[in-house]
Structure 1
Amino acid sequence: MSATAKKSSQTRKTLQLVLIAVAALVLAGNFVVKSLGDDVAPAEGAEGSALATLDVLTVQDAATEDGYDRESDFGSAWQDVDDNGCDTRNDMLQRDLDDFVLTDGDSCQVASGTLDDPYTGETIEFERGERSGDVQIDHVVALMNAWTTGAADWNKDKRVEIANDPLNLIASDGPANMGKGAKDAAEWLPENQAFRCEYVARQIAVKAKYELWVTPAEHDAMEDVLTSCPSEPLPAS
């Protein structure tokens, strides 16, 4: 064999050895990644998700409750802010109840319907009358919470807007709504754990839309919920 041929053969063998070594390193790397399994840190929320939006909300302590008055500051309940002929409560009942029936001769007032209550997971048969309060319309971000996280500095028109914004409203079990009161996510979450991700995502959507801040405890509670659903989307309405 000539010297040139011998040199070419040695070069090919060297190249083969290098390729084998690279392949081995790739396989080893894949094995290590796979073997880490659940020990690998979870991915951050997808862009546009509730978790990603939470990260950009201002975090600071709540302001004082001084001066808060529900009707004076946020308007009477419920108004027809979209001029569709129905007040906000009936708009939300029509949106959230299944098989709703309107009062005879009325194109707006809901007489009955069925609510798959998101807060308790129970089914509630709504019927207008003495037990109308079995189904209430909850402000997902309570108006008191809004007041202490930025709304105190707004004009009344903007406060009336958030008080009647469908994004911030949901039909729910009356006693559960009363139990929530003005509590934030650090103090109250729905009994129905399957709804908690959606609930917190809606609160974050409202806070982002109206440029409200979250308290440190509220932020941490929201983040804790969203760790189990990091890609939970923000509701649009």
Structure 2
Amino acid sequence: MPAAPARRPALWVGLAGLAVVALIGGAAIGWWGALVLSSLYVALSAGWGVLTTRTWWGRMRRGGAAAVGGVALVALVVTSSVAGPAANPGTTADDPPAASESSTRVEVSADPAEGVEPAPVTPTARPEAEPAESDPPAPADEPEAGAQPGTALAALATLDVKGRAPKTGYDRDQFGPAWADIDHNGCDTRNDVLRRDLDDVATRAGTHGCVVLTGSFDDPYTGTTIAFERGQDTSTQVQIDHVVALSDSWQKGAQRLSADERRLLANDPLNLLASDGPANMSKGDGDAATWLPPNKKFRCSYVARQVAVKQSYDLWVTGAEHDAMQRVLTTCPKKKLPKGDATEPAAPLIPATAVQEPEQQRTTAPQPDAGSGSGGGSVYYENCDAARAAGAAPVHRGDPGYDGHLDGDGDGVGCE
């Protein structure tokens, strides 16, 4: 019997520890909290007894300790499941957490001007600290998401948004000869576009209706009407604009196109518009972020063409360019995406008034030597520098001043 008295101090210490734990749990949560912490205390002590045959209340066989620990664990599970709702009597185990005061204020103060009615105060609330990027943007911030299929706005959403690549390696020659006869209709692209975009066209006799001499042009960029007359000093009043400038396309994906694809891009009727000369010069190689037509009524059509060209040739846009396009197209969300095919003529070879070029359009200049192959009347340029200085380059076959010595590759376009 000497062992019995030795156990009593350990038993009293264990019971004292149990009482302290119960008091702590009761003070924090209540009676259910006291039961939870007491069960945890007994389970841990019994677990220690299984390992060492010693518990906080004295020695115990491993089997007995295991049995006590099992009972304690069951009690811990049961009391824990009940203690949660007991500590928050306003909810049940199936209820979501109650809304905090600050999140409730967010719901109630919703701005009716945004079309959102104030939400009633309910136990359910959205998280208070949601990362900004996880909040879905308002529909007005991303109008492409709800754009109708087939519209320019919907197509804009398909374009990649990237930074501008270096201009390194860009040269006009990367896009083939200027104004090539891409559709094989016998006329160069410039005259094709002039015949397409001008009214009351008169062509030069003997050119099979190709070379445009005069016409009336309603310029979409400025909204003005220009009386076009072909000539050294007048032809530049109407220029042919690359809607997506070739330099811009080079920096946004055209570098990876094949030479044939770039040649198509430079001569694609979809990417070409007759335009007021000074307006075209002011545009330069700008994109929608840096230049838009002064005529605001034409901006939707202009940007829609840019989107169509970039989609056709898998070119990307910069972030600023995308935003500028988006701002324009949201004013005309139903604007259809223009269609185009570079293999089709820019304009059918419709009959046009064929006239002999007026004599006053010819200027007196030194005559070339016999046999030089001149096809440009009485105007003669000694070399391409002279043609450029006169503002006549490039010089096309049939133009005043065209001569074989200016056209090294014999493609009908000199001083390219």
1:214 is aligned with what amino acid? Answer: V
Q: 1:28-47 residue pairs with structure 2 within 5 A?
A: 44-47=146-149
Which structure's relative contact order is higher, taking Cα pairs within 8 Å and 6+ residues apart?
Answer: 1
Shift of 1:104: 2.0
Secondary structure of the 1:100 match is strand
* Residues in 1 aligned to 2:238 and 2:205: alpha-carbon distance in whole angstroms: 20
Q: Which of residues 212, 222, 227 in structure 1 aligns to 2:325?
A: 222
Q: 1:101-180 residue pairs with structure 2 within 5 A?
A: 101-107=202-208, 108-129=210-231, 130-180=233-283
Q: C-alpha deviations, 1:117-164, integer Å up to 9, x for none?
A: 000000011000021000000000000111000001122111111000
Q: 1:1-237 residue pairs with structure 2 within 5 A?
A: 44-71=146-173, 73-107=174-208, 108-129=210-231, 130-237=233-340
Secondary structure of the 2:280 match is helix
Q: C-alpha deviations, 1:53-88, integer Å up to 9, x for none?
A: 0011100101000010012x0122111011100000
* Residue 11 (structure 1) aligns with: none
Secondary structure of the 1:199 match is helix
* Residues in 1 aligned to 2:237 and 2:177: alpha-carbon distance in whole angstroms: 21
* Residue 33 (structure 1) aligns with: none
**Number of corresponding residues:** 199
Identity %: 59
Q: C-alpha deviations, 1:77-117, integer Å up to 9, x for none?
A: 11101110000000000000011110122221000001110
* Residues in 1 aligned to 2:177 and 2:313: alpha-carbon distance in whole angstroms: 20
* Residues in 2 aligned to 1:74 and 1:41: alpha-carbon distance in whole angstroms: 40
2:283 is aligned with what amino acid? Answer: K
Q: TM-score, normalised by structure 2?
A: 0.47
Secondary structure of the 2:202 match is strand
* Residues in 2 aligned to 1:80 and 1:236: alpha-carbon distance in whole angstroms: 20
- What are structure 2's unaligned runs of at least 5 residues? 1-114, 116-137, 341-416
1:56 is aligned with what amino acid? Answer: T
Q: TM-score, normalised by structure 1?
A: 0.81
Relative to its length, the structure with more helix (as a share) is 1
* Residues in 2 aligned to 1:41 and 1:159: alpha-carbon distance in whole angstroms: 37
Q: Structure 1 stretches (4+) deviating beyond 2 angstroms?
A: 40-45
Shift of 1:41: 6.2
* Residue 14 (structure 1) aligns with: none
Q: C-alpha deviations, 1:191-222, integer Å up to 9, x for none?
A: 00000000000000000001100110000000
1:122 is aligned with what amino acid? Answer: T
* Residues in 2 aligned to 1:56 and 1:105: alpha-carbon distance in whole angstroms: 47
* Residues in 2 aligned to 1:85 and 1:106: alpha-carbon distance in whole angstroms: 9
- What are structure 1's unaligned runs of at least 5 residues? 1-35
* Residues in 1 aligned to 2:314 and 2:257: alpha-carbon distance in whole angstroms: 11
